[in-house]
Amino acid sequence: EVQLVESGGGLIQPGGSLRLSCVASGFSVSSNYMNWVRQAPGKGLEWVSVIYSGGDTFYSDSVKGRFTISRDNSRNTLYLQMNYLSAEDTAIYYCARESGVNSGFDSWGQGTLVTVSS
């Protein structure tokens, strides 16, 4: 069974850093496109970042230069290192699997809440 489980969220002060993890089971993160998507309270979905199976990474303009996506193939885990956090980064962060372009995000984790506040 395909499963994604995020962790690492919490309350963090503005300017702080946090690392989110997403443990995958039932498939290999290295063989798929792995994404982070966030949702601010009461708002819509916002794509954050992707790491392709070949290792290339891309970011939304809102997080580029502050966030870093990575994966550990041996742990089958996806990460999102978030630096210089601000209140605008407050959201539920989901990891999502994409089997290929035009395949859609077919598996999602339950999300982890990041709250940036003093």
Partner 1 sequence: SSELTQDPAVSVALGQTVRITCQGDSLRSYYASWYQQKPGQAPVLFIYGKNNRPSGIPDRFSGSRSGNTASLTITGSQAEDEAHYYCNSRDSSGYRVVFGGGTKLTVL
The residues that touch partner 1, with contacts defined as CB under 8 A, are 35, 37, 44-47, 50, 56, 58-60, 94, 101-106, 108-111
Adjacent-strand bridge partners of 81: 19, 68
Chain-centre distance for alpha carbon 38: 8
Q: How far is the CB of 108 from partner 1 (least distance, A)?
A: 4
The nearer residue to partner 1, 67 or 94, going by C-beta atoms, is: 94
Q: How many CB atoms lie within 10 A of CB 22?
A: 26
Question: Residue 2: which of 26, 21, 24, 23 has the closest Cα?
Answer: 26
The nearest distance, CB 96 to partner 1, in angstroms, is: 8
CB of 62 to partner 1, least distance (A): 12
